[in-house]
């Protein structure tokens, strides 16, 4: 189902929610909200999936269990869905608040506090900017080189990729990014040697789509720090020898797959075809080799 003809190029959050609601109504989909999948087992004899689900929507604090049976199982929750936090010396004894980015709602409760964001991907950069907007004293750990683009640059690159080789598009995009942002290494942000789209294709790493964070980094309203070495109560020691005290740490350090936690059996017959191939027994976003 297409977006309405009057939809803007960059659909805002409310507009996307409106589209999803219309999509559900148009195709007669009946979503089951507040459910947690506990197990999915393929019944070879019946050639059907048996999916056990916990209903988290009950109001009497009694969690009900539901059983769903289907010929097809489509996993569209993303390849990686469980937040990961790196093993850092002293983290267990950290004296402040520590959360993963998947628990972050907004920066309201962090107003006036010293907050460290760990991770310079899109989530980390956007959270750092949101924290600044809420009045937090914000710092961000940037360890790895990263491309910084605007959404307009990405749109232009997507059009160019239809007519030009990727290498040429990478060169043009990086040149425009340099004109826009200047030498970011002065602020602790290194550019990768590989172009943004080469990097995406070969490693899966996406460029950062800047929402305003870079201007705050340049004005030193958001501070860039190197990797963390260890934690001592609220004091965090960095690899450059600097020690800074923080009231909270937000880890925007990625995710790992939870599929193995609930997908109890992986019969070959249930996974003959995956991804964009013609559907017979199909499970999307889950690679065959993960079953072995």
- Same structural domain, 46 and 188: no
Answer yes or no: is 26 within a domain: no
Number of CB atoms found within 10 A of residue 188's CB: 17
The CATH number given to whatever domain includes residue 132 is: 3.50.50.60
- Based on the domain organization, do 264 and 275 belong to the same domain? yes
Q: Alpha helix (H) ranges present in 222-274?
A: 259-262
C-alpha 29 chain-centroid distance: 26
Q: Does residue 90 sit in the same domain as residue 133?
A: yes
Query: Could you tell me the two tokens for 116?
Result: 């460290």
Q: Residues 153, 202: one domain?
A: yes
Same domain, 92 and 214: yes
Query: Cα separation of 207 and 198, whole Å?
Result: 11
Q: Are 238 and 227 in contact (CB under 8 A)?
A: yes
**Positions in the chain short of pLDDT 50:** 272-292
Q: Which of 18, 19, 25, 17 is nearest to 2 (CA)?
A: 19
Tokens 């991770």 correspond to what residue?
119
**Considering the domain boundaries, does residue 25 fall inside one?**
no
Which residue's entry shows tokens 């469980």? 82
52 SS3 class: strand
Q: Is residue 43 part of a domain?
A: yes
Quick one: pLDDT at residue 283? 37
What's the half-sphere exposure (Cβ side, CA atoms, 13 Å) at 232?
Answer: 7
| pLDDT number for residue 62 | 77
Note whether 121 and 215 are same-domain residues: yes
Number of domain units in the chain: 3
Q: Which of 199, 200, 160 is nearest to 176 (CA)?
A: 160
The answer on 217 and 109 residing in a single domain is: yes
The pLDDT assigned to 287 comes to 33
Nearest one of 72, 81, 76, 45 to 272, comparing CA atoms: 72
Within-domain flag for 11: no
pLDDT for 64 equals: 87
Other Cβ atoms less than 10 A from the Cβ of 165: the count is 10
| Residue 91, SS3 per DSSP | helix
Residues 103 and 236 in one domain: yes
Question: Is 20 among the domain residues?
Answer: no
- Smallest CA-to-CA distance from 291 within 269, 276, 278 is with 269
Burial class (CB in 10 A: 0-12, 13-18, 19+), 285: middle
Question: Domain check: are 170 and 286 in the same one?
Answer: no
Angstrom CA distances, 26 to 14, 15, 19, 23, 260, stand at 18, 16, 10, 5, 33
Counting Cα atoms < 13 Å in the Cβ hemisphere of 266 gives 15
H-type alpha helices, the chain: 13-27, 122-133, 151-160, 166-181, 196-203, 213-218, 259-262
Whether 155 maps to a domain, the answer reads yes
Asked if the structure places residue 192 within a domain, the reply is: yes
Give the position of tokens 């019946």: 46
What the block records as the tokens of 195 is 């172009």
10 domain-assigned: no
The residue assigned the tokens 């990405």 is 154
**What is the domain extent for residue 171?**
147-206
Q: Quote the CA–CA distance of 264 and 266 in Å, as a whole number.
A: 7
Q: Residue 289 has what pLDDT? A: 32
224 and 106 both lie in a single domain: yes
Judgement on whether residues 156 and 201 belong to the same structural domain of the protein: yes
Residues 55 and 191 both lie in one domain: no
Position 275 scores a pLDDT of 46
What pLDDT, on the 0 to 100 scale, is given for residue 288?
32
- pTM, whole model, 2 decimals? 0.76
147 vs 74: CA distance, rounded Å = 33
């Amino acid at each position: 189902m297409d977006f309405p003809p009057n939809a803007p190029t960059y659909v805002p959050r409310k507009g996307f929610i409106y589209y999803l609601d219309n999509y559900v109504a148009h195709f007669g989909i009946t979503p089951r909200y507040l459910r947690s999948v506990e197990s999915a087992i393929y019944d070879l004899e019946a050639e059907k999936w048996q999916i056990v689900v916990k209903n988290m929507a009950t109001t009497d604090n009694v969690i009900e269990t539901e059983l769903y049976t289907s010929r097809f199982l489509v996993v569209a929750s993303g390849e990686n869905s469980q937040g990961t936090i790196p093993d850092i010396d002293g983290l267990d004894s950290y004296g402040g608040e520590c959360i993963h980015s998947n628990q972050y709602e907004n920066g309201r409760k962090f107003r006036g506090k010293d907050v460290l964001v760990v991770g310079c991907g899109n989530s980390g950069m956007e959270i750092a900017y949101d924290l600044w907007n809420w009045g937090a004293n914000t710092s961000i750990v940037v360890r790895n080189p990263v491309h910084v683009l605007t959404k307009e640059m990405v749109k232009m690159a997507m059009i160019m990729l239809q007519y030009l080789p990727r290498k040429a598009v990478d060169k043009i995009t990086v040149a425009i990014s340099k004109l826009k942002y200047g030498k970011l290494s002065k602020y602790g942000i290194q550019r990768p040697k590989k172009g943004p789209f080469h990097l995406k294709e070969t490693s899966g790493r996406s460029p950062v789509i800047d929402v305003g964070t870079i201007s705050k980094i340049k004005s030193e309203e958001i501070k860039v720090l190197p990797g963390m070495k260890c934690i001592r109560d609220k004091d965090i020691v960095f690899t450059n020898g600097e020690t800074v005290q923080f009231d909270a740490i937000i880890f925007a350090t990625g995710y790992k797959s939870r599929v193995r936690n609930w997908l109890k059996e992986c019969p070959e017959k249930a996974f003959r075809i995956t991804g964009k191939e013609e559907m017979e027994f199909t499970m999307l976003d889950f690679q065959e080799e993960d079953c072995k």
